[in-house]
Every structure is written in structure tokens, then in C-alpha cells.
Amino acid sequence: ESYGKVELTFSHDFRQATAKSFSAIATFATREAYVKANWNRSASFDTLEANIDIKSRFIGEMHVKANFDVSNTADAHAEVTYSRTTSGGETRNASMKWLRKRTSDHLETELVADTPFEFLKHQRIYVKADFSGIFHLTSGAEYNDKKVTFDLDIKKKSITGKITTPIENFELIEGSINFNLGGRTKTV
């Protein structure tokens, strides 16, 4: 196969300590192939935004985007996304997201991943804790269409818990206990 006129262009900008870019572009007659990347980060590496774009007749088009911000640990997050369209037109996407939020009486964290693979389509792990009324916990894990949850509620005179699973004969497990440990008479 003859490509006719071929043009190659390389460029980069590494002048700044926290922002960088790079590109390599090849033009074959009317067709273009490239790799382009850029990223910006904070001086302390607690924030980042990055992109990578690739186009070629062999792999199609691919985009990767990443960002994170952990500069405030009370409100932190990270995300990576991947998208690829083959030269045949088939599209594949994947992503992973993480978040963490915290106040004096609340904590929440979650990790979610989605992929194009049947055996690993969707995964999620989450925890939400509330300390304002003694203690309440909501948590769980998901794997494709299967879910496990765990809820716990601790109050001044009781504890209740609930577990749900996809396991036969263990779909729902619940328990509670009431108590009074104050005064002369103690009860459970």
C-alpha cells in the first residue's frame, strides 16, 4: 500500500514544572494518526488532570482521562475514564471513580468501577457512617448484579443490624438487642 505524502510532526512543552504536553502526529495522504498527551498537576501532587488521545488505523481511537483532587481530605475524589472505538466501529468504555467526604459527624467513601467485560461489568464498594445520633452505618459491595449490604444502628439503649446477601438461605440476616446499663437495675 502506498501512503503518498507522509508528514511527521512532533511537539512538546515541558517548560512549566506542573503542566506538560506532548504530541506526535503522522499524516499519510488524507489519513492522520496521533498520540497526544497533556497533564496539569499541583506543585504538591495533590491534584492532577491528565488526558491521552490516540488515533491509529490499527487500534482506532482511544481516550484516557484522569483527574484527582486530594487537596482537601474532607472532600476528595479521583476518576479515570477510558474509551476506545476500533476502526471497525466497536466502542468500549471503562471507568473508575472514588470519593471521600468527611465532616465531624459524617464519613462517606465509595469506589465504583465499570468495564466492558461481562464477568466484571460493575463493581461498587461503599460506606456511609453517621456519628450524629450515636452511630449509624450503611455499607455494601456490588459485583455485577449481586449485592451484599450491611446496616448497623447503635443507639443509647439498643443495637440493630441487618445483612443482605445473594446467598441462598442467607438472603436476609437481622438482629437486635435492647439494653439498659444505667441505674441500679441493668437489663439486656
**pLDDT per position as a tens digit, 90-146:** 999 999 999 999 999 999 999 999 999 999 999 999 999 999 989 999 999 999 999
Listed residue (100, 101, 125) closest to 111, CA to CA: 125
Q: Are 25 and 63 in a shared domain?
A: yes
CA 110 to chain CA centroid, Å, is 8
147 confidence band (pLDDT: 50, 70, 90): very high
How far from 98 is each of 92, 95, 150, CA to CA, in Å?
21, 10, 20
CA distance 160 to 138: 12
Q: Are 118 and 156 in a shared domain?
A: yes
| Domain final residue pick, 52, 83, 98 | 98
Residue 188 lies in a domain: no
| Each residue's pLDDT tens digit, 34-85 | 999 999 999 999 999 999 999 998 889 999 999 999 999 999 999 999 999 9
Predicted TM-score (pTM) of this structure: 0.84
CA distance 158 to 147: 27
| Domain final residue pick, 75, 98, 121 | 98
**Sign of the torsion formed by the C-alpha atoms of 53, 62, 24 and 42:** positive
